Amino acid sequence: MPASDYGFVPVLHDGILVTGAPGLVPELEMAAGPAPQASPVGQTGQILLDPRPEADFVLHCRRDGADLPGSPLAVQVGGWTGRVDWVRGGLLGGRARNNRHPGRDVAVVAFTPAGVVAVAVARAAEGGRFLMVLPPQITGAAAPVVASLGIAGSDYLLEGGRLRFGPEALRPAPGLIPRPLQDLAIRIKISCPNLKEAPMWGDYHFANSLAAGFERLGHQASVDTADVWYAQKAQEDVVIAIRGRHRVKTDPGRVNIMWIISHPDRIPDEEFADYDHVAVASDIYAAELRARGLPSVSVLHQATDSTLFRHDPDRTRRAACLFVGNSRKEYRTMVKWCLQKEIPLELYGGGWEGVLPEGMLRGTSVANADLPEFYGSHLMLLNDHWESMRDNGFLSNRLFDGSGTATPILTDPVAGLADVFGDTISEAGEIEGFAALVQDCLNDPAPYLDRAARAHDIVMAAHTFDHRAAELSDRIDRIAAAKRRLA
């Protein structure tokens, strides 16, 4: 991700901050003590703080009178620990911690002189553990490149956090141990009845993308529809249940993981005891499950398939909204608002017969492989959530897929959106605000496309199925090791 898109590399390293934006006017606010001189370094987009700050500070960076994205940047000086524990190709793991505020999660960023290339969250509830996936342009670089790992909002680089990649890459430093990849067969179980109906189920495409991520890590992985849940016991070491309409009967002799991506209201409390671990696509609901006393819960948001949902800057975008979804036997709110305000809308989905005016529906479905082209050829993608998802902070998969194509998105208000996407996705909860946002985007799309580009960078840095497969793979290793110890 270019630093110019990200705003700042939010780590003070050797007294220098990288912004990627020449022509800055920096201003420094110190928590205590004298302020060092903040000076742009020529036209490099770097800022030198001299002498190095000894107390916390806030840095404002403005150009042409406006703050850059990421400004103001608050930096905590001192009070950090962290290290890289192991490296395997572009997958690495370690720990990071804010010792002043040990209950807070921290963000670990990997960066090169060009800017931030990957982001990971070190969760305090898991002892500060983090996993990171570096992108292919780093791990497969034609020329040597060094990626540094630091903690966002700090002056701290992780121990062992300078990694060299490329044709003349150095071996990991002593003490960096390659990750022990288990030779375990993974079966991902979804509630889709059978393969005949599978292409119409979002869970099927979701699970196949996850399986492909596992395969790229060296695991065996396959997807089971409901009719074959219990047909492959001999080739089943790990069960990952993408919790849908029905409950999976688990075998305690396997590694069992539930991933809740929607409808938490459907799951009875006693079902959680069937699993070694529960992954939740919501920070809010994960916290609720921990408060109920569940012993092993982690946050695992939905993700996009980066091999499919990609940004094509050469696509021509139509000055219209796109909505892809079934009617649920009634108007979807945003579709109704488009009609009421005469907003250009292209609509695809089933069950709209008798609901819409004649000729409004463009098609009853869109193939999953065609969605990137549809998303990327419109100026605004509309998105909404089921009530239980919205209230419990389950972010729709369309937010990740749409952002993968760098398409501006307008969604209904959903708890926790800004925690993942910042200000990059627009929200509207009533018709007048909705209409104003859409018309503003259609009339002047450049600011919305800029924000969508930042959303794309956020997703590619931390929310692809390669990231999710890596996180689950690490979890599987730990569960399998614990079961071996108890055997």
Predicted TM-score (pTM) of the model is: 0.79
Give me the pLDDT at residue 25, please.
73
In this structure, the answer to whether residues 191 and 70 fall within a common structural domain is: no
In this structure, the answer to whether residues 322 and 450 fall within a common structural domain is: yes
Q: What are 333's two structure tokens?
A: 């709110």
Q: Which residues are CB-neighbours of 200 under 8 A, at least 6 positions away? A: 365
Distance between CA atoms of residues 178 and 19, nearest Å: 33
Neighbours of 234 (CB within 10 A): 6
Give me the pLDDT at residue 285, please.
95
The verdict on residue 255 lying in a domain is yes
Higher pLDDT, 22 or 396: 396
Higher pLDDT, 314 or 20: 314
Most confident of 25-29, 45-49, 71-75, 409-413: 409-413
The verdict on residue 405 lying in a domain is yes
Higher pLDDT, 113 or 385: 385
| Per-residue pLDDT reduced to its tens digit, 258-301 | 999 988 888 999 999 999 999 999 999 999 999 999 999 999 99
In this structure, the answer to whether residues 67 and 198 fall within a common structural domain is: no
| Per-residue pLDDT reduced to its tens digit, 135-153 | 888 888 888 888 999 999 9
The verdict on residue 219 lying in a domain is yes
Q: What is the CATH number of the domain that holds 200?
A: 3.40.50.11930
Distance between CA atoms of residues 441 and 410, nearest Å: 10
Q: Please report, for residues 156, 271, 415, the alpha-carbon distance to residue 161 in angstroms, rounded to integers and kept in the order given.
A: 10, 41, 34
Q: What are 60's two structure tokens?
A: 């404002």
Percentage of the chain lying above the pLDDT 70 cut:
92
The verdict on residue 177 lying in a domain is no
Give me the pLDDT at residue 37, please.
81
| Per-residue pLDDT reduced to its tens digit, 77-108 | 999 999 999 888 788 989 999 999 999 999 99
Q: What mean pLDDT do residues 467-472 have? A: 92
Sheet containing 145-151: order of strands: 115-122, 106-112, 145-151, 157-165, 80-88, 91-98, 129-133
Q: What mean pLDDT do residues 453-461 have? A: 91
In this structure, the answer to whether residues 287 and 323 fall within a common structural domain is: no
Domain final residue pick, 29, 53, 75: 75
In this structure, the answer to whether residues 340 and 273 fall within a common structural domain is: no
Q: Which residues are CB-neighbours of 377 under 8 A, at least 6 positions away? A: 315, 316, 317, 318
What is the count of structural domains for the chain? 4
| Per-residue pLDDT reduced to its tens digit, 10-54 | 898 878 887 766 667 777 788 777 778 888 776 667 888 888 888
The verdict on residue 240 lying in a domain is yes
Give me the pLDDT at residue 128, please.
92
| Per-residue pLDDT reduced to its tens digit, 318-340 | 999 999 998 867 789 999 999 99
In this structure, the answer to whether residues 292 and 160 fall within a common structural domain is: no
Q: Which structural domain range is residue 339 located in? A: 318-462
| Per-residue pLDDT reduced to its tens digit, 172-208 | 443 444 444 457 889 999 999 999 998 889 999 999 9
Give me the pLDDT at residue 140, please.
83
Q: Omega into 51 within 30° of 0, i.e. cis?
A: yes
Element (H, E) at 335: helix 333-341
Confidence tier at 359 by pLDDT (50, 70, 90): confident
Domain final residue pick, 108, 137, 165: 165
Confidence tier at 168 by pLDDT (50, 70, 90): low
Percentage of the chain lying above the pLDDT 90 cut:
57
The verdict on residue 109 lying in a domain is yes
The verdict on residue 15 lying in a domain is yes
Distance between CA atoms of residues 123 and 105, nearest Å: 5
In this structure, the answer to whether residues 364 and 445 fall within a common structural domain is: yes
In this structure, the answer to whether residues 228 and 291 fall within a common structural domain is: yes
Give me the pLDDT at residue 62, please.
77
In this structure, the answer to whether residues 137 and 51 fall within a common structural domain is: no
Neighbours of 163 (CB within 10 A): 23
In this structure, the answer to whether residues 276 and 328 fall within a common structural domain is: no
Q: What mean pLDDT do residues 392-417 have? A: 96
In this structure, the answer to whether residues 155 and 239 fall within a common structural domain is: no
If you ran DSSP here, which 8-state letter would residue 365 be given?
-
Q: Please report, for residues 67, 425, 447, the alpha-carbon distance to residue 451 in angstroms, rounded to integers and kept in the order given.
A: 15, 7, 6
The verdict on residue 473 lying in a domain is no
**Predicted confidence (pLDDT) at residue 2 exceeds the cutoff of 50:** no
Q: Please report, for residues 21, 107, 154, the alpha-carbon distance to residue 58 in angstroms, rounded to integers and kept in the order given.
A: 18, 18, 11
Give me the pLDDT at residue 373, please.
96
Domain final residue pick, 22, 56, 75: 75
In this structure, the answer to whether residues 284 and 358 fall within a common structural domain is: no
Give me the pLDDT at residue 155, please.
93
Q: What is the CATH number of the domain that holds 60?
A: 2.60.40.10
